[in-house]
Structures are given as structure tokens and as C-alpha cells.
Amino acid sequence: MPKATFKITYSDAKSLMNEAVKSAKHHHVPGAIAIVDEGGNLLLLESLDNTMSSASKIAIGKAATAAAFKRPTKAIEDVVLEGRTPMLVLDSATSESYIPLKGGYPIWYKDELVGAIAVAGTMDAEMDEVVVLEALENKNW
């Protein structure tokens, strides 16, 4: 019997995006926020005022990386920082640029990967984490 699968809807993605934008504004930081589906395909992208131009592509890459590896990009960055440098050359493993930097998280629904969200360009890697985690904590689905 086929397994039921779930997809992130535009409405769900937009709601999550609104939470991320709200968090960034609360912390008075710029940034780009990307939401991708389970295959790493871009669904939504927002670039706030005063965000560096490269942040959009970085956010898309972080989100695609989180979706492809089904884990936060912080976990991948930690592996690299612990010395596993071959992890730096896995660009073909993701649908977009492979970005193993903190700030990207998978989105789960009923234990199934439905997408990923990432933040880049807050000018502080820890703040990238804060904004994305606050958005995920406040999602209403």
C-alpha cells in the first residue's frame, strides 16, 4: 500500500516566512530568508532592507543543503570544523549551491521532511540561527 506523503503548502511557507521576517525585524537585523521544498526547490525568498547582495544565494544554498542532508546546516558546519574537510566538496549532493554554514534547518511535518528554511546575511552567524529557530518555534502548523 502506498505511503501518504506530505508537501509544504504555499500558505504554510508564507506563514513561516512571516515569522522569520518578524524575528529579523524584532532583532533589527537585515537578512535573506529562503524556504525550499523537500527537494531543495525554491518556494519563497525574501531579502530585507540593507541585506548584502550575496545573502539571497547563500540562504537558498543553506536551505537546499538542510533539505538534502535532512539536518541543520550547523551540524554539517560542525563536522567540517572538527576536521572532516572532505565535507567541503559535496556541491553535487544538493539541488542548489552546497552551503555548510549554520542558519539552515529542515522543516518536518509528522516526521516527514517537507522542506527547509534558511537565513543568511544578518551579519552574525549566531543571529542567522536565532531568526530561523524563532520562526520554526512560532510556526502554527
- Run of H or E residues at 35: strand 32-37
Q: Give DSSP secondary structure letters for 71-120.
A: S-HHHHHHHHHTT-GGGGG-GGGSSS----SSSEEEEEETTEEEEEEEEE
Query: CB of 20 within 8 A of CB of 136?
Result: no
pLDDT of 89 > 90? The answer is no
104-109/42-47 β-pairing = unpaired
Mean pLDDT of 1-8: 84
Q: Domains in the chain and their CATH numbers?
A: 10-136 (3.30.450.150)
pTM of the model: 0.94
Residues 92-137 have pLDDT tens digits of 888 889 999 999 999 999 999 999 999 999 999 999 999 999 999 9
Confidence of residue 23 (pLDDT cuts 50, 70, 90): very high
Task: Look up residue 80 and give its amino acid.
Answer: V
When the pLDDT of each residue in the chain is averaged and rounded to a whole number, the result is 95
